[in-house]
Structure 1
Amino acid sequence: MIDWLGWLTQGSAVDLRRALVSLLLAFGLGQVVALVYMATFRGLSYSRSAVHSMAMGSVITCMLMLAVGSSLAAGIGVAVGLSAVRFRTTLRDPRDVMFVFAALGVGIACGLQAFGAALAGTAIFGGGTLLLHVTGYGARRQPDGLLRFTAPSMPDAEEALAKILRAHCQTFSLVTLREAAQGTLMEHAYQISVRAPELRASLVSRLQAIPGVQDVSLMLQEPTLDL
């Protein structure tokens, strides 16, 4: 019986079956990396194309490693070809870069048929990322927002302001203080951390109820969001 697939594998560094196993494993592990990324993602700049690039980037790198094999000339040719390709997409979050790099590493390991390293590396990378996400490793307490208002330059008003801030805020620090309305008013700016999110509206309303306090505004900030 004539092997009709023989022409596909003649002169190849690996046979067709091993290539299929490598490519399928690279695709599967690339999807695992992408799933971990989706499960631990925080922010607003979510990109579906970035997830697809993780899942398919491992297949591309695996294919290149299978094609290169142990040929130095083929490796130089692939490097020259890749240098001619210009990638204009920028990843602003270093975490996104690490996930893309992990997907490419999976593809390289599968292309070199280091299946044990690919499986173990994906398991440790995925498990470690999930552990850091669940435990909140590296997180720091940040101010909830910036509170601005103008108030009369009088001891009674300052005492009322301090009382309300102590009642509603876990921490507050004065950022700027300057004269307004020819010295009759003082413009305040505080970085605050409220004791509970539901106290934000109460804080603003109680400040506005103080005689002479004007232009009360609370600008919230979230350090994990990328706008």
Structure 2
Amino acid sequence: MSTKDFIKKSVLNTFTQYDAPKLALALLTALALGILIYLVYRQFYTGVVYSRSFAVTLVGMCVLTCMVTLAISTNVVISLGMVGALSIVRFRTAVKDPLDLLYLFWSITTGITAGAGMYALGLVTAVVMIGMILFFYHWQAKGRVYIAVIHYLGTDAEDDIVRAFGRCKFVVKSKTMRKDSTEMAVEVFSKDPNLEFTDRLRAVNGVQDVTLIQYNGEYHG
């Protein structure tokens, strides 16, 4: 068979070899697993600002990847065209949290396995991933990281400020001195949801104000 005849036969088979129930099952499975990934991401998100659009993207990514896999596995000509089309796509959105890459690849690989009909593999992978996320979520130290910006007068207040942090782990990141006033930026790791150390800081003689900012970071103190 010549190359021309092979391509012609492949194109004609495109319209005859679709199995509607199989396609529907694959897409529904991808949708269900994508929703599962969405729920896991929403439940265990530890960042500062939760992005609902990114979470919804995980579901869409799973379904679209499944569709692409189904199209590629059906026809050789379509697969070549799909490779050419996807090769010109450029994504400019920066991923701020490295853990988001885990969810992105989980969504993409789930769509591929659903499109290939490997439903058991997709389910087993979901169970393993959820177990791994649960393990590390409960294993890591519970608490939040803050940046405390403190303005105080004089030099005698600094020792009292250090004592006011109590058992909280902290690291002085910067100190700006302007005549009698000083601005100190401190990275604080606190397990206390009430943040009682802020009350102790405000009670220190010489402290003018305290600004507390939560950020998504890892404490290395």
Which TM-score bucket, shorter chain as reference? 0.7 to 0.9
Distance 1:172 1:51, change over 3 A: closer
Q: What runs of 5+ residues in structure 2 fail to find an aligned partner?
A: 1-12
Q: Which residue of 1 aligns with 2:212?
A: 220
Q: Secondary structure at the match of 2:134?
A: helix
Cα deviation for residue 65 of structure 1 reads 1.0
Q: Distance in 1 between matches of 2:29 and 2:135?
A: 24
Equivalent residue letter for 2:16 = G
Rg comparison, structure with higher value? 1
Q: May I ask how many residue pairs the two structures share in their alignment?
A: 202
One of 11, 14, 17 as aligned partner of 2:16: 11
Q: Deviations over 1:17-71 (max 9, x none)?
A: 2221111111101111111000011234322221221112111111111111164
Runs of at least 4 residues off by over 4 Å: 139-144, 171-180, 192-196
Distance 1:79 1:195, change over 3 A: closer
Q: Deviations over 1:117-136 (max 9, x none)?
A: 11111111122113222332
Cα deviation for residue 167 of structure 1 reads 5.0
One of 118, 121, 125 as aligned partner of 1:117: 121
Distance 1:195 1:98, change over 3 A: closer
Identity %: 24
- Contact 2:176/2:184 (<8 A) preserved: no
Q: Secondary structure at the match of 2:205?
A: helix
Q: Distance in 1 between matches of 2:127 and 2:191?
A: 39
Q: Which residue of 1 aligns with 2:184?
A: 189
Q: Distance in 1 between matches of 2:69 and 2:30?
A: 12
Q: Deviations over 1:128-173 (max 9, x none)?
A: 1132223326x78856524332305xxxxx3x75256425533566
Distance 1:47 1:191, change over 3 A: closer
**TM-score, reference length from structure 2:** 0.73
Q: Distance in 1 between matches of 2:122 and 2:45?
A: 23
Q: Which residue of 1 aligns with 2:152?
A: 149
**TM-score, reference length from structure 1:** 0.71
Q: Which residue of 2 aligns with 1:169?
A: 166
